[in-house]
């Protein structure tokens, strides 16, 4: 029974692995038996994740990569296959913050949000798909999307939300295109998670006004902000054989946020 949920001996690439959800996921995949290639812009912090993966007893390969750069992405996947073996899985988890009201949003900010948060998902997915199709043994991809891919957040999140809506459709299109090759593509939709990026925003009162954190918690029926480790189980499930017939889904990891209508707040 438990073999269904193992990733024993699989090779995975995780992007955004230097911190936050990407780091928690990389360590979680290793704890479930995978060898992990780690990609991020931040080479220094990536080396820490690499050490932690090795300490858990699995192989790790840190490759400083800008996931918006085609050549660097190609090199990431070539090195992964050369040094760790044929690719079984990819998790996309990079993030760049853009928090500006639509009427003030510059073209540069709009394009940066889409370039990192959407193109930065497409390029690794395309590279992974190519490698998996060439090998002919299928594979699995998980895109870390957001509740913002389905519902609107306001508060200057327009460029971010549009990029996440793009990740949602990228997930569905790839699931449909690559199902014939046995490649499953799914997405996770986290609500607010206590990552370094999230904490930095809440330490800046200009970005997030007083009371917003409490308002967010109120909108989560489970009554708390998530922790990075909360995404590990859902990602492991989607990559594992336990999810072998699961393809093209959006799995909220949001404590019930998307399920709840705003009008139901304060029911009790």
Ligand X SMILES: NC(=O)c1ccc[n+]([C@@H]2O[C@H](COP(=O)([O-])OP(=O)(O)OC[C@H]3O[C@@H](n4cnc5c(N)ncnc54)[C@H](O)[C@@H]3O)[C@@H](O)[C@H]2O)c1
Catalytic residues: 160
Query: In whole angstroms, how close is the CB of 169 to ligand X at the nearest point?
Result: 15
SS3 31: helix
Distance CA(257)–CA(37), nearest Å, equals 32
Query: Toward ligand X, which CB reaches closer, 135 or 194?
Result: 194
Nearest to 145 by CA among 160, 167, 123: 167
SS3 194: coil
Query: In whole angstroms, how close is the CB of 30 to ligand X at the nearest point?
Result: 17
Binding site for ligand X (CB under 6 A): 16, 18-22, 40-42, 65-68, 93-96, 116, 120, 144, 146, 190, 192-193, 195-198
Distance of CA 34 to the CA centre of its chain: 17
Query: Toward ligand X, which CB reaches closer, 40 or 50?
Result: 40
The CB-side HSE value for 231 (13 A sphere, CA atoms) comes to 32
Query: Toward ligand X, which CB reaches closer, 53 or 94?
Result: 94
Query: In whole angstroms, how close is the CB of 116 to ligand X at the nearest point?
Result: 5
Distance CA(135)–CA(144), nearest Å, equals 25
């Amino acid at each position: 029974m438990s073999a269904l949920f193992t990733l024993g001996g699989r090779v995975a690439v995780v992007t955004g692995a230097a911190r936050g959800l990407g780091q928690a996921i990389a360590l979680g995949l290793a704890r479930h038996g995978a060898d992990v290639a780690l990609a991020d812009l931040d080479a220094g912090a990536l080396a820490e994740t690499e050490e932690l993966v090795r300490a858990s007893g699995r192989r790790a390969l840190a490759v400083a990569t800008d996931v918006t750069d085609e050549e660097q992405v190609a090199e990431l996947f070539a090195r992964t296959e050369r040094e760790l073996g044929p690719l079984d899985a990819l998790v996309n988890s990079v993030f760049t913050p853009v928090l500006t009201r639509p009427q003030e949003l510059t073209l540069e900010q709009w394009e940066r949000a889409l370039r990192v948060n959407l193109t930065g998902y497409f390029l690794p997915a395309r590279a992974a798909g190519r490698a998996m199709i060439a090998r002919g043994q299928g594979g699995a991809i998980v895109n870390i999307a957001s509740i913002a891919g389905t519902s609107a957040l306001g508060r200057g999140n327009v460029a971010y939300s549009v990029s996440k809506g793009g990740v949602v459709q990228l997930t569905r299109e790839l699931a449909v295109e690559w199902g014939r090759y046995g490649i499953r593509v799914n997405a996770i939709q986290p609500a607010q998670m206590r990552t370094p990026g999230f904490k930095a925003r809440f330490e800046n009162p200009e970005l997030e006004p007083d009371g917003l954190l409490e308002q967010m918690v109120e909108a989560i029926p489970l009554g708390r902000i998530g922790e990075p480790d909360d995404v590990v189980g859902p990602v492991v499930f989607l990559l594992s054989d336990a999810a072998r017939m699961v393809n093209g889904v959006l799995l909220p990891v949001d404590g019930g946020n998307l399920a709840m209508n705003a009008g139901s707040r304060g029911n009790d």
